[in-house]
């Protein structure tokens, strides 16, 4: 059954609001109604796109390898995964905060995908010129540029190009219109949570002295690659040390007592 324990200090580390099946469902926000909390938003997430049935059905789960994704002057390289309803992967996660904010502001966001980032437009055009003009476009792209079928399909999502020069430019900047973020529960991490000014320098809630928060409960975001884990560990240590200082200074048992 339920038990009530009085504690002089409490460290909360219940996670953000993504991957709820693992326990981090954000339900704790109801217990901290008097604390300023920034609404949760997906971070390091995928995005939705209006694929044609061909791309959605045939290429879902297929990677675009070694591409460069550009948005608003920022570029990220790596592998992008095509999903049934959009895209995800390292380069997308790197740009996700910018893309998410643009979608929130404008309702859509346009990115470009460079299918051959190590080749110039001129080099691509030169390789295409050495293929047989009467061959199918798919064969020319496969033989001249070793472009995988998923890359060819992506090119076909746009209007036809009149000549090889225009096709070469398209290969260097395939336009994609993103329509939204993937669901919050599928995001690798979240932005939002307990506002920064709601805590003191020891991560103690100003509204509830003796209660400390750490990890993704706090309003911050970071890229993938170890930064998320490091931030959770670092804030956990800071909150734990803050709780020890609080106890040494004579904190008194008062929790749980959140109204």
Determine if the pTM surpasses 0.85. Answer: yes
CATH number of the structural domain 10-41+185-248: 3.50.50.60
CATH code for the structural domain at 47-181: 2.40.30.10
State phi, psi for 229 to the nearest 5 degrees: -65, -45
Cβ of 253: how many Cβ atoms within 10 Å?
A: 11
Please, which residues have CB within 8 angstroms of residue 116's CB and are 6 or more apart in sequence?
124, 145, 147, 171, 172
* Per-residue confidence (pLDDT) for residue 257, from 0 to 100: 47
**Residue 121, burial from CB neighbour count under 10 angstroms (0-12, 13-18, 19+):** middle
H/E element holding 56?
Answer: helix 53-58
Q: Say which residues have a Cβ less than 8 Å from residue 143's Cβ, sequence separation at least 6.
A: 131, 135
Cβ atoms 79, 90 nearer than 8 A: yes
pLDDT of residue 258: 44
Q: What residues does each domain of the chain span?
A: 10-41+185-248, 47-181
Check if the beta carbon of residue 205 is closer than 8 Å to that of residue 199.
Answer: yes
Contact indicator for 199, 239 with CB cutoff of 8 Å: no
pLDDT confidence of residue 13 = 96
Q: What angle do CA 220, 221, 226 make, to 5 degrees?
A: 125
As averages over each run of 10 residues, the pLDDT of the chain (259 residues) reads: 89 94 93 96 96 96 98 98 97 97 95 98 96 90 95 94 95 97 95 97 95 97 93 97 93 53
Q: Is the dihedral of CA 243, 246, 251, 255 positive or negative?
A: negative
């Amino acid at each position: 059954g339920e038990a009530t324990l009085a504690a002089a200090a409490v460290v909360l580390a219940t996670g953000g609001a993504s991957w709820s099946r693992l326990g981090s469902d954000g339900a704790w926000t109801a217990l901290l109604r008097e604390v300023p909390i920034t609404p949760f938003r997906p971070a390091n997430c995928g995005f939705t796109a209006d694929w044609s049935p061909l791309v959605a059905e045939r290429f879902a789960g297929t990677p675009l390898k070694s591409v460069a994704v550009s948005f608003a002057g920022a570029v990220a390289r790596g592998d992008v995964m095509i999903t049934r309803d959009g895209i995800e992967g390292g380069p997308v996660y790197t740009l996700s905060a910018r893309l998410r904010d643009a979608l929130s502001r404008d309702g859509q966001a346009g990115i470009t995908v460079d299918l051959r980032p190590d080749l110039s437009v001129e080099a691509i055009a030169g390789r295409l010129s050495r293929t047989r003009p009467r061959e199918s476009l798919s064969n020319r792209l496969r033989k001249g540029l070793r472009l995988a079928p998923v890359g060819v399909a992506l090119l076909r999502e746009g209007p036809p190009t009149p000549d090889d020069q225009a096709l070469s430019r398209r290969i260097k900047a395939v336009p994609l219109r993103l329509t939204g973020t993937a669901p919050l529960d599928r995001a690798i991490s979240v932005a939002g949570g307990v506002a920064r000014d709601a805590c003191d320098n020891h991560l103690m809630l100003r509204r509830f002295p003796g209660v400390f928060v750490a990890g993704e409960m706090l309003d911050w975001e970071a890229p993938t690659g170890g930064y998320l884990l490091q931030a959770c560990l670092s804030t956990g240590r800071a909150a734990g040390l803050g709780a020890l200082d609080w106890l040494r200074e004579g904190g008194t048992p008062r929790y749980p007592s959140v109204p």
